[in-house]
Amino acid sequence: MVMIPRLVIAAPASGSGKTTVATGLMAAFAQRGLAVSPHKVGPDYIDPGYHSLATGRAGRNLDAYMCGPELIAPLFAHGARGCDLAIVEGVMGLYDGASGEGELASTAHVAKLLRAPVVLVVDASSQSRSVAALVHGFASWDPEVRISGVILNKVGSDRHEMLLRDALDESGVPVMGVLRRAEQVATPSRHLGLVPVAERRGDAMAAVAAMGAQVGGGCDLEALMRLARSAPGTPGASGAWDPVAALRVGGARGGPAPLPAPSENRGSAAGPGPRAPDGPGFRPGGPGSTPGGTASPRGGAPVVAVAGGRAFTFSYAEHTELLAAAGADVVTFDPLRDEALPEGTRGLVIGGGFPEVYAPELSANEPLRKAVADLAATGAPVAAECAGLLYLSRSLDGRPMCGVLDAEGRMSERLTLGYREAVAITDSPLAAVGTRLRGHEFHRTVLEPGAGAAPAWGMHLPERRVEGFVQQGVHASYLHTHWASAPGIARRFVEWAAG
C-alpha cells in the first residue's frame, strides 16, 4: 500500500456547494505549494476542467459503474502518483448512486473503496439547530463511511454561524470551515451544467482564484490536511493503473478479452445479436495535409487526431494515454479554427461537447468538414461520441455538418441523462460483436434516425433498443464510454489506423 493523503468532499444533495468547496480547496492547497491531484466521482466532464485549472494537473474521473469497483483504487493511484494530496469531489448526494443499483457508483461507495475520510458540505442557508440532525443522520447511516468533518456553506451572519456551531458541538463531527455567501465565485450554467473552462478561460481562472481565496480563508486548512494524512494506505496503490500494462490485459469487463484485431469484415452488421483538452499523450496539432497523407513525424506511428477546442471539451485523460500507449501519435486540433486535419491523420476521435452552441462556426468551416468526410470515405477509423455524432451528421439545427451520416440533429427540450448497458452488435474499429460495455448518455439533442442500417450498440438499460451508426470505419453513437474499462478499444483502434 502507498500512503496518499486524501479527502472526499461530499454533500447531502446537489446544489450544496461541493464544486465550489472542492475546487477552492484544490486551489488553496496548490497555492501553498502542494502538488494536488484532482478527482471527480461519476462521469461528469465539466467539473474536472475547473479542477485542472486549480491544480495544473489533469482532472480525473472515478466512476465505479462504468469502470467497475475494482478499478477505482488503481485509477486513483495512477492520477495521484507523486502528489502531496488528493481531493475527490463527490457526485449528487453522498449516498446517491446508479439508479436501482444500491450504493454502486455513489460518493459513499467510492469513499469506502478508497478508505478516504469524508468532509460533508452543508448548505446552511435555511437552517440552524436542524443541521445537527442532518449531519448525525448522514454520519450514522453507513458506519463504513467515515464522515470526519463539516464545512458550512452559505452562512448568513456571525449569529447564524454561532447557532450552527453550537448545534454541531453535540454531533461529534467537527466544523472545519464556514463560508459566507459570495457572488464572485458563482460560475455560469446552461443546459448541461456549468459552462466548460475552455469556453471562458479568463473568467474561469478568476472564478477559481476567488474560490481558492474564499475557501482558503474560511476553512481550517491545517486541520483538513491532518485529516487527509490520517487516511490509511490506499488499496491497490502499489498496483496503480498503467496504460501500457492495461493494454497487455486489454479486454472489456464482461466481454471478449482481449479484443481481437480488426477483421476484414469492417463495418459489417452482425444481425440483432445480444440486445441492448491537453493532457498526457497529446501533442498540439494544426492545419496540415488532407486525410491519408504522409506518415507520422514520430517514426511511422499512425497519427490519431483528437478534436478539442471550445466545441469538443468532453474527454477522459485515460483515452489519450491508452491511444499513445497503443502506439499512436496523438495530435489535437480545433474544429472551430483549423481548416485541415493534422498532417498524416490516419484515425480520428471526436468526443463530446457543445456543437449545438457552436453550430454556425462549425458549419462555416467547410474545408475541415470536407476533410473529415474524405477521411471517413477512405475507411479510416473514426470514433465519435455524442457531439462527435452530431458533427458527422448531415445537419445540426438546419446548419450543414460533415454529412458522413445520413441523419439530422436538432436541439430538444428533453434532457437525456443516465447510465447505460450496451453490447456491440456491429463489428467496428472500437469493438468486436458481442463486446459488452457500460457507458452514459448526457445530451439535450435528438438525432433522426437514431440508428443506422448497421447500429453501433444494442442497449440493455434503461430500455432495449438499438443506437448509433457503424459504416466503413466510422463508429458514431450518443454513448459515452470510459476506455480504462476496456483498454483493448484503444489497441484495436490504433491497429485499424495503422493497417
Q: Which long-range contacts (CB under 8 A, 24 or more apart) does 219-224 make?
A: 219/21, 219/24, 219/25, 219/28, 219/151, 219/176, 219/177, 219/179, 220/176, 220/177, 221/25, 221/28, 221/29, 221/32, 223/149, 223/174, 223/176, 224/7, 224/25, 224/119, 224/149, 224/176, 224/177
Helix 47-55 and helix 18-31, axial crossing angle in degrees, nearest 10: 20
Among the listed residues 396, 398, 319, the one whose alpha carbon sits nearest the alpha carbon of residue 351? 319
Beta-sheet strands, E only, within 191-293? 193-194, 283-284
| Virtual torsion, Cα 200, 205, 211, 217, nearest 10 deg | -160
Q: Which residues on neighbouring strands pair with residue 480, listed in sequence order?
A: 440
Q: Give CA torsion, residues 104, 106, 109, 111, to 10 deg.
A: 160
217, three cell numbers: 480563508
Told to judge if 386 belongs to the known catalytic residues of this protein, a careful annotator would answer yes
Task: Give the separation between CA 25 and CA 382, rounded to whole angstroms.
Answer: 39
d(CA 439, CA 184): 35
The rounded distance, in Å, linking the Cα atoms of 28 and 209 is: 8
Residues β-bridged to residue 155? 180
Neighbour tally for 481: CB within 10 Å: 25
- For 398, counting Cβ atoms within 10 Å of its Cβ (0-12 exposed, 13-18 middle, 19+ buried), the class is exposed
Cβ of 299: how many Cβ atoms within 10 Å? Answer: 8
The vertex-135 CA angle with 129 and 139, nearest 5°, equals 155
Residue 417 CA, distance from chain mean position: 14
- Relative to beta strand 457-461, strand 465-467 is antiparallel
Q: Which of 83, 219, 386, 402 is catalytic?
A: 386
Q: Which residues are catalytic?
A: 386
